[in-house]
């Protein structure tokens, strides 16, 4: 995906404060952190959203979840964290490359959703 901002980060074409990499996933600090801990975990291969995954993506999806706790602990959120995957228009997804937010810090992140 030539113009995908997260694919560009995977290819090293734009900088990111990377915190983790393996053969399937990459993790880096969000450019506009919403909490003291705010890390994004992405598949290296372009997947547009959680609405586009297939059973072939199970290994990378599992890896994203399985590394969350070690990233949270290593980056200031040792007593729990929240993992968020915004998906599509209704989910408020802004970057069309699947990503999981890991948010946290010393204090509780607050209610799951703003009440409407």
Asked if residue 16 binds ligand 5GP (CB under 6 A), the reply is: yes
> Which range of residues in 56-64, 73-81, 89-97, 103-111 is near ligand 5GP by CB under 6 A?
89-97
CA distance 11 to 13: 5
Output the CA torsion sign for 27, 25, 70, 106.
positive
Instruction: Classify residue 58 by its DSSP letter.
Output: H
CA 55 to chain centre: 20
Cβ proximity to ligand 5GP, 48 vs 78, nearer residue: 48
Of residues 89, 94, 113, 114, which one binds ligand 5GP by CB under 6 A? 94
User: What does residue 71 show for φ and ψ, rounded to 5 degrees?
Assistant: -70, -45
Q: Which two tokens stand for residue 105?
A: 């810090």
User: What does residue 15 show for φ and ψ, rounded to 5 degrees?
Assistant: -75, 155
By a kind-dependent CB cut-off of 5 to 8 A, residue 7 interacts, out of Zn ion, ligand 5GP, none, with: Zn ion
By a kind-dependent CB cut-off of 5 to 8 A, residue 81 interacts, out of Zn ion, ligand 5GP, none, with: none
Asked if residue 86 binds ligand 5GP (CB under 6 A), the reply is: yes
Q: Which residue ranges make up the site for Zn ion (CB under 5 A)?
A: 1, 4, 6-7, 46, 97
Active site residue ranges: 99
């Amino acid at each position: 995906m030539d113009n995908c901002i997260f694919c560009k980060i995977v290819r090293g074409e734009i900088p990111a404060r990377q915190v983790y990499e393996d053969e399937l996933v990459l993790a880096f600090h969000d450019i506009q952190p919403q909490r003291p801990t705010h890390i994004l975990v992405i598949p290296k291969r372009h997947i547009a959203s959680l609405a586009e995954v297939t059973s072939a993506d199970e290994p990378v999806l599992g890896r994203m979840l399985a590394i969350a706790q070690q990233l949270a602990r290593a980056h200031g959120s040792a007593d729990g964290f929240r993992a968020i995957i915004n998906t599509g228009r209704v989910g408020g997804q802004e970057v069309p490359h699947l990503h999981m937010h890991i948010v946290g810090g010393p204090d509780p992140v607050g209610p799951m959703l703003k009440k409407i």
